[in-house]
Structure 1
């Protein structure tokens, strides 16, 4: 029964990392780099195409409205007709520019989604590998415990504990395989692949320390690039223009001048809030990145220690100074240490992108 289950799990893992016929038909390569995945997702994303159409539509509307405006008042007061034309032109100009910024922001969001999904598959693969090794270890421990119980050197309680550890390891592996399948489903959806496709991902996440000369300057640069901040500032400009062009002579006006003053205050308050929230989030991202970089150094050291421990364990095992159980534990310790390094690298890669382009992470959106 144990051999049957072990073979079943091995087949599952092989299927999850191999390329089926459907994938082979969609790509003439043996694998997929992160950039290849990003490029494909850009082509597949419907909302990105719609955002591009929004840019084209915005330009058509902007040009249409601009042709209607033949006179720009120079005084502080304008007629209601000219006021409406000016406000309409300003609004269409803002809408057009915002559609362009939304298009670029959407591209960033798609790229962010691919980075996350790509990493999720890689992390799930590594967890499944570690879980399989742990199951093999637990199975060995269970068999040793059974032998010891038979010869009378182990009581029933300790044997039951070994059996429970095996069952737990088996459950963990099954969960890991399911998580890997789920990760592939999300990734395939972004890629436009069939649900059963299992493309080989070629790029492993690498931690590249984020260096900034001045955090304050970097935050300012990011705020200047933020589509949400830009739109908030344009709303302030529009509120100021609406207030300046208020026509006191229009008997059909529906709102008092004081209402326009309140609208301006609200727009200014909203802009300040978006800037403050975005700035704080960017700083939090930066500090989290620095923490991950510190953890990475410790994790790499743990890998070095685990590698040396495994070398020693192999030598001792060969000369009979160490049991197979101890050797298996040393192998497991190394795999877990390597998995931890990979996990930190993946988190850092995602967070580094969010730090540079927080709008791709949803920061600052209303």
Structure 2
């Protein structure tokens, strides 16, 4: 039988202890802290064991708790009784019993010696915190030390708003340039059709002049409609382009959040892997369990690479829309804001859309042209289609128009119901997120007071990050659907049937 190490016994006590006893112990510790010195780090109250205390007006705190709360990596050299903390390229070294520290090799006076209390390294809060790049303030009235970590600004890329992105895409769009050229072309055709009126011969009694007049008039009507179609198409192409830019802009933000989830998941998988290896080495985990954890770790590692690849793909799509270099990675920071859809008279809204829809308008003009062709029909011209065929063309055009109206009605009602359903899901997600964040606070308190392990905190953080990512996905869907509800034709591109 394998011998169980002392380290694993301690680990087992932390992970398998009675929950009720731990809760009572945590509550008593929290109560005792309320009458002593409080520590707040980045707006989160922290509870450390042993409790912070004053030494000659200098606040002393547990080394590992305060350093890890500030995001530092802590290593302990038992032989030399030295401790080392690293964060953002900064290094701080301390030794038990000494009031001298070394920051990046430079000597720093601490004001109080590093000491041991209940087998825990206690260090001066202010100089240690400031050495790690944090701001420290003392609130005398509440006997609270406020610590604010200085966030390292990694993103030094130029940022880009959605409106700025739309402006770049508008200047680059081939479709828009093509639509504007078509407007000019339709103007030329309309002018040419109008000039034909100057060359109509006089009536000689055989009906030839009348037929020419009918043809010219029909040509002018067709040219007028073609010109209006071209003018309207410019507006449609602009609206579609704006929607496409917004979609891809949000898509990049979504993929970046998926990467955050993948990274946090890998952190948790790594801790699980370490715990399982300890259990396995002490005979308390099977080879199967070890293999499963290692498989999960590999899957988490692979998911990060997949997430990075999808971000690159989305950026490539975005850059193509805007006419940017494919390697460009502008910083996108504009996010949609949740706002419930105002009460809407859906019948009135659909009536309004039927009047505004580009496709409905185009089909209405098609019906007009078919009717005009029938009205201008001359029975003595045997080379043309029979009049009955003209009537059938009118019926087909009217049927197509009627069907398009029904489709628009159905799609708009469906979108409206989808938005309401997504809004309800968002509110439920808001509640779940609040519970997850509360669970994270409890896990952090348990960890700070020695009643929990780091894996519990990371797991709770993972739950919060996952819920935030799902909530953001809902927010994007709601925002895009609300915009599509206002202009259904933007969803299917410039040739949309809405």
For the aligned pair, the TM-score class normalised by the smaller chain equals 0.7 to 0.9
2:467 alignment counterpart: 337
- 1:162 maps to 293
Alpha-carbon distance in structure 1 between the residues aligned to 2:322 and 2:451: 52
Partner of 1:32: 160
Q: Given that residues 135 and 166 in structure 1 are in contact (C-alpha distance below 8 angstroms), is that contact kept between their aligned partners in structure 2?
A: yes
**Corresponding position of 2:194:** 66
- How far the C-alpha of 1:18 sits from its partner, in A, is 6.0
What displacement does 1:64 show?
2.4
Distance in 2 (CA, whole Å) between partners of 1:108 and 1:17 is 31
- Contact kept? 1:18, 1:198, Cα under 8 Å: no
CA contact (8 A) 1:34 1:202 kept: no
- Counterpart check, 1:142 vs 2:273: yes
Which residue does 2:169 correspond to in 1? 41
More helix by share: 1
Displacement of 1:68 in angstroms is 2.6
CA distance in 2, matches of 1:211, 1:80: 56
Question: RMSD of aligned C-alpha atoms?
Answer: 1.9
Q: Structure 1: which 5+ residue stretches go unaligned?
A: 1-13, 20-29, 72-76
1:110 aligns with 2:256: no
Residue equivalent to 2:438: 308
Shift of 1:212: 4.4
Which residue, out of 315, 331, 346, partners 1:184?
315
* Equivalent position to 1:276, from 402, 406, 409: 406
Report how far residue 60 of structure 1 moved: 2.2
Alignment correspondent of 1:360? 490
The residue number in structure 2 matching 1:128 is 259
Which has the larger Rg?
2
Per-residue CA deviation, residues 137-157 of structure 1 (Å, 9 max, x unaligned), is 101110111111112222222
Report the CA distance between 1:17 and its aligned residue: 6.4
Structure 1 Cα separation of the partners of residues 334 and 455 of structure 2: 34
> Structure with the greater relative contact order (CA < 8 A, sep ≥ 6): 1 or 2?
1
The runs of 5 or more residues in structure 2 that have no matched partner are 1-151, 201-206
Change (3 A) 1:186 1:303: same
Tell me if structure 2 keeps the 8 A contact 1:79–1:247.
no
SS at match of 2:497: coil
- Kindly tell me: are residues 169 and 124 of structure 1, through their superposed partners in 2, closer, same or farther at Cα, counting changes over 3 Å? same
Q: Normalising by the residue count of structure 2, what TM-score does the alignment of the two structures yield?
A: 0.65
Looking at structure 2, the residues matched to 179 and 101 of structure 1 have their Cα atoms a distance apart, in angstroms, of 36
1:320 has 2:450 as partner: yes
Once the two structures are superposed, residues 215-249 of structure 1 have per-residue CA deviations (whole angstroms, 9 ceiling, x without a partner) of: 01111111211111001000101111111110012
Moved more, 42-51 or 147-156: 147-156
Q: Pick closer, same or farther for the CA change 1:352–1:315 going to 2, 3 Å.
A: same
Residue of structure 1 equivalent to 2:22:
none
Structure 2 CA distance for partners of 1:134 and 1:362, relative to 1, 3 Å:
same
Q: CA offset at residue 197 of structure 1?
A: 0.7
1:5 aligned residue: none
- In structure 2, do the counterparts of structure 1 residues 270 and 142 end up closer, same or farther at CA, with 3 Å as the change threshold? same
Deviating beyond 3 angstroms after TM superposition, the runs of 4 or more aligned structure 1 residues are 16-19
Aligned counterpart for 1:248 among listed residues 379, 385, 395 = 379
CA contact (8 A) 1:17 1:199 kept: no
SS at match of 2:332: coil
Tell me, yes or no, if the aligned pair for 1:118 and 1:187 is still in contact at 8 Å: yes
Alignment length, in residue pairs? 336
